[in-house]
């Protein structure tokens, strides 16, 4: 039974090394404190040792975006989407698509941004993932605001609020609800 448990954990966990999780936590802390270069360096170190450690990609992507390296941030999110799809984690794929869309929108590439928001929405809907569905709706609303279509933006924000309000017991949904209201 112990050997079976070890085999299952090895196959399921991105890393069996506890030090890797400590390094990931440190990279997240660096990112939260605005130490973006440190977060990037630590993320690269983690991936060099543990290439299956998917949770490090969003940390590295956000740090790269904050330092102005949006093309590398896009690559990090694409890598995250690809690795997550291969691992069967469709929620992570939807999240990555939302973030890819957001980066494209910040670069002024509205067509690609909308395409990725729609992919994220479709994937979230298909996988019963209300969090990413609401995020996608909010990002599409901002897209419509940029296009000065405020009626459509209000409609999408209202739908996002409904999803998040129903799940306000969850911290992620409360955070997104605050973003919707903002």
Q: Is the pLDDT of residue 16 over 80?
A: no
- Give residue 81's pLDDT: 97
- Give residue 182's pLDDT: 77
CB 83 within 8 A of CB 57: yes
> How far is the C-alpha of 104 from the C-alpha of 151, rounded, in Å?
23
Q: Is the pLDDT of residue 120 over 70?
A: yes
Write down the pTM of the prediction.
0.85
- Give residue 17's pLDDT: 66
- Give residue 4's pLDDT: 73
Q: Is the pLDDT of residue 86 over 90?
A: yes
Q: Is the pLDDT of residue 10 over 70?
A: no
In order of 89, 101, 165, 174, the CA distances from 178 in angstroms are: 26, 21, 10, 6
- Give residue 175's pLDDT: 85
Spatial CB neighbours of 69, under 8 Å, sequence gap ≥ 6: none
Averaged confidence pLDDT in the chain:
90
- Give residue 115's pLDDT: 97
Listed residue (68, 48, 47) closest to 57, CA to CA? 47
Alpha helix stretches (DSSP H) within the chain: 2-12, 18-32, 36-49, 56-66, 70-87, 90-106, 110-126, 130-146, 150-166, 171-181
Q: Is the dihedral of CA 167, 173, 179, 182 positive or negative?
A: positive
Provide the pLDDT confidence category of residue 145 given band limits of 50, 70 and 90.
Answer: very high
Q: Which two tokens stand for residue 72?
A: 């590398």
CB atoms within 10 A of CB 169: 7
Q: Is the pLDDT of residue 23 over 60?
A: yes
CB atoms within 10 A of CB 152: 14
Q: What average pLDDT does this structure show over 89-111?
A: 96
Provide the pLDDT confidence category of residue 6 given band limits of 50, 70 and 90.
Answer: low
Provide the pLDDT confidence category of residue 58 given band limits of 50, 70 and 90.
Answer: very high
CB 141 within 8 A of CB 156: yes
Q: Which two tokens stand for residue 69?
A: 């390296």
């Amino acid at each position: 039974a112990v050997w079976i448990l070890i085999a299952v954990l090895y196959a399921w966990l991105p890393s069996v090394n506890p030090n890797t999780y400590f390094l990931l936590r440190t990279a997240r802390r660096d990112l939260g404190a605005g130490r973006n270069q440190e977060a990037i360096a630590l993320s690269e170190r983690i991936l060099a040792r543990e290439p299956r450690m998917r949770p490090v990609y969003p940390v590295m992507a956000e740090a790269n975006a904050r330092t102005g390296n949006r093309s590398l941030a896009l690559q990090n999110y694409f890598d995250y989407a690809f690795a997550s799809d291969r691992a069967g984690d469709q929620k992570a794929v939807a999240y990555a698509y939302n973030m890819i869309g957001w980066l494209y929108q910040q670069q002024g590439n509205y067509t690609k941004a909308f395409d990725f928001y729609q992919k994220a929405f479709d994937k979230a809907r298909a996988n019963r993932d209300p969090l990413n569905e609401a995020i996608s709706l909010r990002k599409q609303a901002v897209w419509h605001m940029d296009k000065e279509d405020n009626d459509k933006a209000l409609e999408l924000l209202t739908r996002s609020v409904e999803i998040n309000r129903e799940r306000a017991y969850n911290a992620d949904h409360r955070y997104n609800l605050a973003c919707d209201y903002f």
